[in-house]
Amino acid sequence: MTQPILEMRGITKRFPGVVANDHVDLTLYPGEIHALLGENGAGKSTLMNVLTGIYAPNEGHIRFKGQPVDLKSPKSAVDLGIGMVHQHFKLIEPLTVAENVFLYSGRCKAMLNTRDMNQCIKECSENLNLKVDPNAKIWQLSVGEQQRVEIIKLLFCGAELMILDEPTAVLTPQETVELFKTLRKMADQGKSVLFITHKLYEVMTFADRITVLRNGRSVDHMLTKDTTRQKLTNLMVGRDVLKVVPERDTAKSTREVLRLENICAMCDKGVPALNGLSLTIYGGEILGIAGVAGNGQRELSEVIAGLRRVTGGKMFLNGKEVTNLSSRDSIKKGIAFVPEDRMGMGLVANLDMVDNAMLRDYDVPPINRKGILNKKEAIRRTESFVKAHDIKNAGIKKPVRLMSGGNLQKLLIAREIHGNPDVVVAAYPVHGLDIGATETIHKVLMEQRARGAAILLISEDLEELFELSDRVAALYEGEVMGIIPIEKVTEEMYTRVGSLMLGDREESAAKEQTGGMAEA
């Protein structure tokens, strides 16, 4: 084989309390499209930040074109010819395509010659099938076009190694095909392309070689033609940890509490995020939602909590239609919501514990007495939360931003289950928490289940889902791929849910092979 353009050996990056990359190896050859595959939290982004000079690794070394390099800053990476298209584009919206490209490339002269600039960009874009109008302002362009501008930008800087972070997350299937056509052309011209993804379909269809990351380690690398989807799934999800599911009553309720029928909704960027999702949650059960982040979890939780409008479909609560509830009404109807960003949405950092404890029912009695806050009641309640869940605090009148993550989450969940809600939506409730707090949160969820609440638990941790859920639904691109009842956890379950999460539909895995692109 030819000499590799890039060799990363034994890259280790530690953050306080976590090892994000643990002796990761990555080798790239000129002229290839290489996929970096892994679940969220597997360490893909950290590795790319090391490669683009944003983080300095604690250990390991990098060789570029055979020479050892020291990437001190993003600029040194760019100078070497390593360019990255970030998931969130770094474009200046009010400027034109040409201005953005030239500004970034540093080829700006004191006077801009629009005609020359446009000509340059035209040549470059025609050559590579990157259709874009150089005179258009960035804000007028679609997401797919903006991505093309990012690529042109990197090409103008002489990038030889191009990294794309989840490039297809915001693209339509047609745009995805176009993008990979372009990338293939670039590879044929001798450049290397590294793309980060968790979509198996793309990897199998477009990549030449694959490196799989799991839990911060590079678990394997192989040629695409030597592997199968099944093998990749196993590598990605991993089966080395198996825990025994604790005993619990299996008396299943058949009382339907929440039903979603063909729900469609947009994400914040205005791209469809839920595509005809249907679910039923019964009283006294925990329905786990498995899925790689970004497949509609956030939108699903926000639709149920009344924070996001649906563009199609219906929602029923206790048999009555409640489609497009306001968040005010959703609280009143007993839908509790533990959102994924506890500090940005669930709690107000600058307010104290007492103020935060009444956030969701400040305007109903007993807290609201004709427009006046019943502070005594709020304080009494806060104290009961502290006692019931052992919440460590510097004082209930101190801003909650001083509290630790685990205690914040305890406060948040205590508030949400206060008043015995019918539905509890918990999005990544133990993300980033220590073992003690995790146990408390899990205990609370199990108590709510025993009380008869219908619980939707969103998590990326299959182990957690298997441990708590009665059934697990796998979400992929805004649709439920299949629902599996959890009775006994076997190795096979991991594989089954894992492949559902990656888009293989339960009944018709074969059909999806071709259907993956045609959907949506």
Partner 1 sequence: MKIRFEKREKLHPVWKLLNPVICIVLALLACSFLVIAIGKDPVAAYGKLFSGGFGSAKKLSESILQAIPLMFCALGVSISFKMSINNIGAEGQYVMGAMAATGVALFCPWIPHALVIPAMIIAGFAAGALWAMLAVIPKAFWNVNETIITLMFNYVALLFVDFLLFGAWRDTSLNLNYSPAYPEYAMLPKVFGTRINSAIYIAIIAAVCIYLFFDKTTRGYQIRVIGSSVRAASYAGMNIRTNILIVMLFSGGLAGLAGVAQASGAVGRLQQNFANGTGYTAIIVAYLSKFNPFTVLIVSILFSGLSYGSVATQLVGVPDQVGVVIQGAILIFVLGGEIFSRNRLIITRREKETALAKKGATK
Applying CB under 8 A, which part among 1-9, 78-86, 247-255, 344-352 lies near partner 1? 344-352
CA atoms of 520 and 516, how far apart (whole Å) = 9
Both tokens of 512, joined, read 């999806």
H/E run at residue 498 = helix 491-501
DSSP bridge partners of 209: 34, 223
CA atoms of 122 and 412, how far apart (whole Å) = 54
Applying CB under 8 A, which part among 18-26, 293-301, 328-336, 455-463 lies near partner 1? 328-336
H/E run at residue 492 = helix 491-501
Instruction: Give, as ranges, the residues between 175 and 204 that touch partner 1 (CB under 8 A).
Output: none
Side-chain-side CA neighbours of 377 within 13 Å: the count stands at 12
C-alpha distances in Å from residue 421, one per residue of 265, 333, 401: 25, 8, 27
Residue 345 binds to partner 1 (criterion: CB under 8 A): yes
Strand 192-197 and strand 33-37: the pairing is parallel
Q: Is 62 helix (H, G, I), strand (E, B) or coil?
A: strand
Residue nearer to partner 1 on the CB measure, 318 or 327:
327
Residue nearer to partner 1 on the CB measure, 415 or 505:
415
Residue nearer to partner 1 on the CB measure, 53 or 346:
346
Both tokens of 230, joined, read 């099944």
Residue 88 burial by Cβ neighbours in a 10 Å radius (0-12, 13-18, 19+) = exposed
Residue 24 burial by Cβ neighbours in a 10 Å radius (0-12, 13-18, 19+) = buried
Per-residue three-class SS string for 375-425: HHHHHHHHHHHHHHHCCCCCCCCCEHHHCCHHHHHHHHHHHHHCCCCCEEE
Instruction: Give, as ranges, the residues between 281 and 310 that touch partner 1 (CB under 8 A).
Output: 305-307
Both tokens of 474, joined, read 């796998």
The nearest distance, CB 418 to partner 1, in angstroms, is: 14
User: Residues 191, 159: contact at Cβ < 8 Å?
Assistant: yes
Q: Which of 326, 384, 490, 508 binds partner 1 (CB under 8 A)?
A: 326
Residue nearer to partner 1 on the CB measure, 115 or 370:
370
The nearest distance, CB 344 to partner 1, in angstroms, is: 6
The nearest distance, CB 17 to partner 1, in angstroms, is: 17
Residue nearer to partner 1 on the CB measure, 293 or 343:
343
| Count of residues near partner 1 by CB under 8 A | 34
Q: Which of 245, 351, 489, 517 binds partner 1 (CB under 8 A)?
A: 351
Q: Which residue in this structure is represented by tokens 């450049």? A: 191
Applying CB under 8 A, which part among 173-181, 280-288, 369-377, 505-513 lies near partner 1? 369-377
Q: Angle 249-252-253 (CA atoms, 0-180°, nearest 5)? A: 130
Residue nearer to partner 1 on the CB measure, 75 or 398:
398
Give me the phi and psi of 261, to 5 degrees please: -120, 115
Residue nearer to partner 1 on the CB measure, 260 or 335:
335
Residue nearer to partner 1 on the CB measure, 286 or 367:
367
Applying CB under 8 A, which part among 23-31, 120-128, 135-143, 356-364 lies near partner 1? 356-364
Residue 379 binds to partner 1 (criterion: CB under 8 A): no
Residue 331 binds to partner 1 (criterion: CB under 8 A): yes
Q: How crowded is residue 511: how many other Cβ atoms within 10 Å of its Cβ? A: 11
Applying CB under 8 A, which part among 200-208, 263-271, 345-353, 508-516 lies near partner 1? 345-353
Both tokens of 265, joined, read 């909704």
Applying CB under 8 A, which part among 135-143, 175-183, 219-227, 349-357 lies near partner 1? 349-357
The nearest distance, CB 395 to partner 1, in angstroms, is: 11
Residue 337 binds to partner 1 (criterion: CB under 8 A): yes
Residue 363 binds to partner 1 (criterion: CB under 8 A): yes
H/E run at residue 173 = helix 173-188
Applying CB under 8 A, which part among 92-100, 237-245, 325-333, 466-474 lies near partner 1? 325-333
Residue nearer to partner 1 on the CB measure, 31 or 334:
334
Applying CB under 8 A, which part among 77-85, 165-173, 250-258, 348-356 lies near partner 1? 348-356
Residue nearer to partner 1 on the CB measure, 321 or 363:
363
Applying CB under 8 A, which part among 93-101, 118-126, 341-349, 507-515 lies near partner 1? 341-349
Q: Which of 372, 376, 387, 435 binds partner 1 (CB under 8 A)?
A: 372
CA atoms of 146 and 165, how far apart (whole Å) = 14
Residue 415 binds to partner 1 (criterion: CB under 8 A): no
User: Residues 382, 354: contact at Cβ < 8 Å?
Assistant: yes
User: Residues 333, 324: contact at Cβ < 8 Å?
Assistant: no
Residue nearer to partner 1 on the CB measure, 349 or 510:
349
Residue 350 binds to partner 1 (criterion: CB under 8 A): yes
Sheet containing 59-64: order of strands? 18-28, 6-15, 59-64, 67-69
CA atoms of 450 and 444, how far apart (whole Å) = 10
DSSP bridge partners of 352: 399
Q: Which of 19, 264, 373, 517 binds partner 1 (CB under 8 A)?
A: 373
Instruction: Give, as ranges, the residues between 57 and 86 that touch partner 1 (CB under 8 A).
Output: 58-59
Preceding peptide of 30 cis, ω within 30°:
no
User: Residues 496, 321: contact at Cβ < 8 Å?
Assistant: no
The binding site for partner 1 (CB under 8 A) comprises 58-59, 305-307, 326-331, 337, 339, 344-351, 355, 358-360, 362-363, 367-368, 371-373, 375, 402
